[in-house]
């Protein structure tokens, strides 16, 4: 039996999807149980799938998300793996901020990025560029960040400062610890999956971060 809270959350998720202009909400089925939202259905692009996921993560009260949305490209947009791989390589090469060390592998429209980058933001930029390409069904991140000899205290302060500037994040509830080799551990409590992701992305965006271990709770629950 669906609880009152799950029913209210279900309505909030539907409203968030309806309000997202990049998503055809009518193609998405939503189920909510114990604060976990499950999305199912078939969409026409990976960008739409990504937009739907982001919309649901922004809903306060959603503690988990199972994105079971499938991407089936319209016939005119279907591209073979070799064509997608060539386009990804070209786009990464044209992006002046990205190093030539990123390697590309494509299988059934799913792109895997490997290799070592110099800075965390390069990893995020590469993923963002590839997600928007026509014909891409999904993106897997196997990239690593080159270790930087930055002082742990300096890195912690830089991350905390970045959190203060993040509009979607309540920074006072997030604790930062920096381990050797640029490994960052986040703990504390946030109000939504969107804040959970925002904290992790913000930490990765600071030069010197090589890995983020996100142990944040969402509304007090892991």
Per-residue pLDDT tens over the stretch 128-149 = 899 888 888 889 999 998 877 7
pLDDT at 27: 94
Compute the distance between CA of residue 156 and CA of residue 185 in angstroms, rounded to an integer. 10
Q: Domain limits at 116?
A: 77-145
Of the residues 111, 130, 145, the one at which a domain ends: 145
The answer to whether residue 87 scores a pLDDT higher than 60 is yes
Are 120 and 98 within one domain? yes
Compute the distance between CA of residue 122 and CA of residue 102 in angstroms, rounded to an integer. 10
| H helix or E strand, kind and range, residue 67 | strand 64-71
Are 159 and 213 within one domain? yes
Are 174 and 198 within one domain? yes
pLDDT at 222: 55
Average pLDDT, integer, range 28-45: 91
CATH at 97: 3.30.1340.30
Are 39 and 13 within one domain? yes
pLDDT band at 75 (very low <50, low <70, confident <90, very high): low
Give the closest residue to 54 by CA, choosing from 13, 109, 5.
Answer: 13
Are 137 and 159 within one domain? no
Average pLDDT, the chain: 88
Average pLDDT, integer, range 64-92: 86
Of the residues 104, 124, 145, the one at which a domain ends: 145
Are 61 and 103 within one domain? no
Tally of structural domains, the chain: 3
Of the residues 16, 50, 71, the one at which a domain ends: 71
pLDDT band at 150 (very low <50, low <70, confident <90, very high): confident
Helix (H, G, I), strand (E, B) or coil at 63: coil
The structure's pTM equals 0.67
pLDDT at 28: 95
Are 158 and 205 within one domain? yes
Please check whether residue 70 is in contact with residue 98, taking contact to mean a CB–CB distance below 8 angstroms. no
Are 180 and 203 within one domain? yes
């Amino acid at each position: 039996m669906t609880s009152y809270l799950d029913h209210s959350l279900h309505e909030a998720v539907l409203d968030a999807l309806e309000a997202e202009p990049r998503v055809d909400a009518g193609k998405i089925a939503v189920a909510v149980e114990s604060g976990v939202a499950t999305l199912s259905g078939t969409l026409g692009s990976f960008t739409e799938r990504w937009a739907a996921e982001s919309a649901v993560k922004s809903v306060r009260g959603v503690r988990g998300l199972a994105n079971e949305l499938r991407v089936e490209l319209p016939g005119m947009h279907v591209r073979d793996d070799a064509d997608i791989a060539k386009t990804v390589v070209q786009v990464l090469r044209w992006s002046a901020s990205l190093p030539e060390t990123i390697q590309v592998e494509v299988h059934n429209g799913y792109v895997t990025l490997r290799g070592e980058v110099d800075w965390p933001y390069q990893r995020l930029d590469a993923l963002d560029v590839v997600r928007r390409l026509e014909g891409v069904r999904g993106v897997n991140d196997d990239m690593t960040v080159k270790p930087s000899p930055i002082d742990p205290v300096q890195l912690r302060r830089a991350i905390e400062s970045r959190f203060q500037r993040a509009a979607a994040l309540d920074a006072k509830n997030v604790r930062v610890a920096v381990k050797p080799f640029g490994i960052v551990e986040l703990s504390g409590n946030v109000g939504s999956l969107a804040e959970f992701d925002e904290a992790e992305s913000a930490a990765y965006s600071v030069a010197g971060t090589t890995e983020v271990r996100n142990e944040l709770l969402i509304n007090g629950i892991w």
